[in-house]
Amino acid sequence: MATGMQEKQYTPSLLSFFIYNPSFGPREGEEEKKILFYHPCDVEKNEKIRNVGLCEAIVQFTRTFCPTKPAKSLHTQKNRQFFFEPEDNFWIVMVVRNPMIEKPNKDGKPPTIEYQEEEILDTVYGAVLRQCYSMYKLFNGTFGRAMEAGGVELLTQKLEKFFYRYLQTLHLQSCDLLDVFGGISFFPLDKMTYLKIQSFVNRVEESLSLVKYTAFLYNDQLIWSGLEQDDMRILYKYLTTSLFPRHSEPELAGRDSPLRPEVVH
């Protein structure tokens, strides 16, 4: 950040992220039962209830105009709220602070804050929110599955365990159209080498009955995958943004890692 009389620029940041089900606390005084996960966790109970209640009201209000297409986002000067219903009555909400510029004033007056609302694209951050659910489902299954296995208690445990770590990997300041399309970077290979790798993968799957699907990567670039494309997009996102950065070796910082020679949409 700049010092002195220079402008200070602030990138988008995550203000809150929560998951709720309005059917879990329908009566007055039971509102807290609706909340399945809330980040940050140190927010007061009444504020959590108030924020969830506001989102409920927004969704219900927009449904009066289009019952099948409730609100997906809410724009305000300071932040942007994104709503997503991945399963019936389960809602995920992400609140992002708009980027802003702090301009100093003379004569000791407080600085002027200018919010850059147009810098936040609904398509990009809406895709990030949907990816959050897809990533959870990849490792834990659906919310409904957890409810069937152990009720609300098991679901809240799974949500807490997963999202506590996953939200730390979100880099909202660098989100772009690749997050919308789920781009995959492929490693270019000649035909013979590619066929050898495919033959190796086939032999592994034939000899090891426990292996159902295989993906073959070099550093953070995909060479071959037997997964469905949508599943591979989510797995690739996890590998390149969460797993690989934590366990990368020095050579990953070389020629191959930062380049994206081929991106599919």
The per-residue pLDDT for range 10-39, each reduced to its tens digit, is: 889 999 999 999 999 777 888 899 999 999
Cis amide bond preceding 70, omega within 30: no
What pTM was estimated for this model as a whole?
Answer: 0.78
Question: Among 118, 113, 86, which Cα is nearest to 101's?
Answer: 113
Q: Where are the domains of the chain?
A: 8-179, 183-246
Tokens at residue 202, please? 């086939």
Which pLDDT score, from 0 to 100, does residue 87 have? Answer: 95
Which pLDDT score, from 0 to 100, does residue 83 have? Answer: 95
Which pLDDT score, from 0 to 100, does residue 246 have? Answer: 55
Which pLDDT score, from 0 to 100, does residue 1 have? Answer: 46
CATH 3.30.450 fits 8-179, yes or no: yes
Low-confidence ranges of the chain (pLDDT < 50): 1-3, 249-265
Which pLDDT score, from 0 to 100, does residue 251 have? Answer: 46
